[in-house]
Amino acid sequence: MKDATIYFDNAATTPMDRRVARAMRPFLDGIYGNPSSLYRQGRLARQAVEKARGQVAALLQAASDEIIFTASGTEASNLALTGLVEPMAPGPVHIVTSRIEHPAVMATCAAQEQRGVSITRLPASPDGLIYPADLAAALRPTTKLVSIMAANNIVGTLQPIAELGRIAHSAGVLFHTDAVQAGGKLPLDLKSLSVDMLSLSAHKLYGPKGVGALYLRKGTNLLPIIHGGGQERGLRSATENVAGIVGFGCAAEIARASMAEETVKLVALQDRLIECLCSGQLPTYLIGHRYKRLPGHVCIGLAGMEGEAMHLLLELDAHGIAVSSGSACSSHHVDAPSETLLAMGFDPVRARGSLRIALGRFNTADEVEKFLELFTKIVRKLRPISSRSQETTKCREKRKK
């Protein structure tokens, strides 16, 4: 299989920045010590881990000792939800989340529900927003945690995290946000936000796969979900992935320095895509909020051609362009309607027909123009699925005659 020449799926994963790879290289070769060891190799590894912890903390305007390294953003969210709820048993526990969360949160909430925890899942607006008033109405005396993502991975809509967090805190409830999509792309100042826990993933901000982090505000108590040697303040036992953590730290530092410039570039490319794809010249329309969205993230629907989404994706892939039909984490359910779009009020047919175009640091205006030219040609060759159904019906009638 040939590599995609134009990569437009940065919401699924980002290519590793070469500067990150260079920073990691010494820890894949010469500096191989265990960070828990006291001799020189171990001390060098420990110093590298702590430097990276400071770099990730700086990206969030947090303190170094509020960063817990994990193996992924998914593990970070699992630790936040499960590690908080377990100490509260056997009393009644209520969690508020939304119907458009990443599976890392959705599945963890479902598992907690099986253990007797009460879960309220808030719906989303047609633009993919969670209404603060809905959160306020859902809170109960037994509510212990609210978990709402900062930015949706499928439609790109940004949530009013600051306001949602304030509502939770005003009721004495802890607030967690899955910021895996937002981290490194949007300013996140945890000194001012009412956020107690936040999940990050390195591979979404041009770092390596296999490493994530949980921000844990001082004074927030969790129990570990992985037991062993007591690493990461006893909350995440296992010998640290030193090279991965170093890469994460480097990626966080680069993101912090380049975020403003990259946002300007990505918003301009995003606007160009939306202008061309949603002008009425093609049977495509924008999904998600027009302005409150991740920089470079465009999700489009295929009006009357929902059944052709996968065909379109594969045609683009054959020409060396990588886009997504939705979340990479749900690619094994490609025939099912998107739960996110259903929660936004889409009917099951429309919820099957979407494409996600997620631009990133290394994409160019020339690539966008090439994509638009090819996309237009492919779409105009396709026929609405309804017309194909009509042809099939006519053929059947002829056979009967």
Question: Which has the minimum average pLDDT: 47-61, 158-172, 331-345?
Answer: 331-345
Q: Which regions of the chain carry the CATH code 3.40.640.10?
A: 18-255
Taking phi first (over 0 means left), then psi (-120 to 50 degrees means alpha), and beta for anything else, what does residue 43 get? alpha
What is the per-residue pLDDT for 335? 63
User: Residue 89's pLDDT band (boundaries 50, 70, 90)?
Assistant: low
What CATH architecture is 18-255? 3-Layer(aba) Sandwich (3.40)
Average pLDDT over residues 255-283: 96
Q: Cα dihedral sign for 107, 108, 109, 111? A: positive
To the nearest whole percent, how much of the chain has pLDDT over 70? 91
User: Residue 70's pLDDT band (boundaries 50, 70, 90)?
Assistant: very high
pLDDT digits (tens, 9 = 90+) for 331-353: 545 567 899 999 999 999 889 88
Average pLDDT over residues 246-253: 98
Q: Are 124 and 148 in contact (CB under 8 A)?
A: no
pLDDT of 81 strictly over 60: yes
The catalytic residue positions are 329
pLDDT of 390 strictly over 70: no
Which numeric CATH code is attached to 6-11+258-390? 3.90.1150.10
The helix/strand/coil state of 314 is helix
pLDDT digits (tens, 9 = 90+) for 188-228: 999 999 999 999 999 999 999 999 999 999 999 999 999 99
Burial code (b: 16+ CB inside 10 Å, e: under 16) for 117-143 equals beebbbebeebbbbebebbeebbeeeb
Q: Is 329 exposed, middle or buried (0-12, 13-18, 19+ CB in 10 A)?
A: middle
User: Residue 308's pLDDT band (boundaries 50, 70, 90)?
Assistant: confident
Average pLDDT over residues 312-341: 80
Q: Which regions of the chain carry the CATH code 3.90.1150.10?
A: 6-11+258-390
What is the per-residue pLDDT for 156? 97
Q: What is the C-alpha end-to-end distance of the chain, expressed in Å?
A: 47
**Is the model's pTM score more than 0.85?**
yes
- For helices 103-114 and 73-85, angle between their N-to-C axes, nearest 10 degrees: 30
